[in-house]
Chain A
Amino acid sequence: MNELWNQIELSWTWLTASSQWHGPDGIPHRLLQHVWYSGVSLLCAAVIGLALGLLAGHTGRGGFLAITLANVARAIPTFGLVLFVVVIDYSITPVLVALVALAVPPILVNTFEGVRGVDPDAKDAARGVGMTGWGVLWHAELPMALPLILLGLRTSAIQVVATATIAAYPGFGGLGRYIIDGLARGDYQLVVGGTVLVVALALIVQLIFAGLRRLVVSPGLLGSARPS
């Protein structure tokens, strides 16, 4: 335990050293890279996952296909995918593709389950007051599925933030740089420092989603979502 505290103290010294906060190898730059990779991947995954999930949930068709697809995507080792595609085409795109593949399943599954789980009576009522298919989706299904959808987005976001560290292995920077460098040099405090930054970023993501949930989910629905 003592040793652990020692390491944490060393890492703290590293983190707070002013030299770490400037230049292309400084924390702000790496952090920006990390947020950029994560954000773009999450955005793409959200578009794909939400579209497919809403479609399958609303029509009640293709649910099995969607879930199977999500499971296959979950099974793909991000690491393998990143390295494989990088061998073919050395650019950041393969890394983003791998992160998108990682982020789609939770969004897709939760969106599908959320829309499918909307109380049939509420859907009926929506149709009963004269809403069209789009109206039902927009005014009934989506708002009621929102707690679960946000949960899926949050899970994906955290996974992406944690996994984007892999981008550093083929040399694309991000916060993973510190961890990979630390490993190469046997520099433990670098590893812990990098990790602390990634976890902190993940916690911020978590806070953002907690705020978002309070902001966009109807108070009538809060407390009904279950973590997945």
Chain B
Amino acid sequence: MITFEGVTKRYPGGAVALDDVSLDCPTGEITVFVGTSGGGKTTALRAVNRMVEPTSGRVLIDGRDVREQRPAELRRGIGYVIQHAGLFPHRTIEDNIATVPYLLRWNKKKARARALELMERVGLDHSMAKRYPFQLSGGQQQRVGVARALAADPPIMLMDEPFSAVDPVVRAELQDEFLRLQDELHKTIVFVTHDIDEAIKLGDTIAVFRTGGKVAQVDTPENLLAHPADDFVAGFIGQNRGIRTLSFAGTGELRLSDDAVRPVTADAADLTGLDWILVVDEDRRPLGWTRPAQIGGSLSEAPLAPVGPTFRVGSDSVRVALDAAVLSPSGLAVGVDDAGAVVGTAAGSDLLAVPTHGNGAGGTGHGAGSDG
């Protein structure tokens, strides 16, 4: 556990970057520092590996003051990922990843083997091992950055806006893989971001920093959305926090309708009274939407509109289901099971009627709501 005890950082000019910050970052969990720029979240992060020395107060790792260790040694035991990866341009990818192992005097063979192993872990092809950073895309560089931070298997990782310099699609991919990695590795992670959506998606705990370096609220994402401590937090979370709350409602207890689902072999005769039909194959995998009026003879010849996005019953949140409903040509969200077979459909209005507190599996798949 990382503990901040009354940490204050005042710069010589009088500017206060951190004002009496006290909070805990539990072991094996992701704690997100979120806030406006100038809120001190990065300063707080850097106090952990002594890139910033507090004016007063102290930072403890598992009860031990970080100042007891020499900075260089302390830092070799803490992974650090920053916005623009900060890869060494003059070293190959594998040597970049093996940086800390080299510093710790591992032998070269072992360090390189570890680098290859990590490349696999973060989804990089082995063929990139001998390339140089400039030959990689932004998203790939960021993966290398994460792999480099993990190289010596540090129990703690500090991540300073690691995904904000890449485009939204890549960012979502990196976030998902990051959560998958964390499920395997259970690192103690401090993650800084200015993006509240990212904070809600990734955080087990969220600390909201406000201007002047004060912590406005430390809470679980659900509680933060449901009960913002003050106007600043409410304002920071934004207008659509109602919709965001749906991220924490599971789809496991939704009642899905089978009325509109028809196998492709079905007779076209008994379709009256339905606006839209979801045509499925023999394994109940969705093929597309069609309207009874468009059907001449059998369903197999009917013109089909694309299914659109679907949601996984149980593991996806109601927010994902709502998205699927809005984007579906029929206005109905298609729920599928893990094999991709259709469980049933739900209308947008049904989804909004779902109670959103204290139930269901977490929408983010890493156990944020599993204690509810």
Classify A-B as touching or not with yes or no (CB < 8 A). Answer: no
Interface positions of B (Cβ within 8 A of A): none
Interface positions of A (Cβ within 8 A of B): none
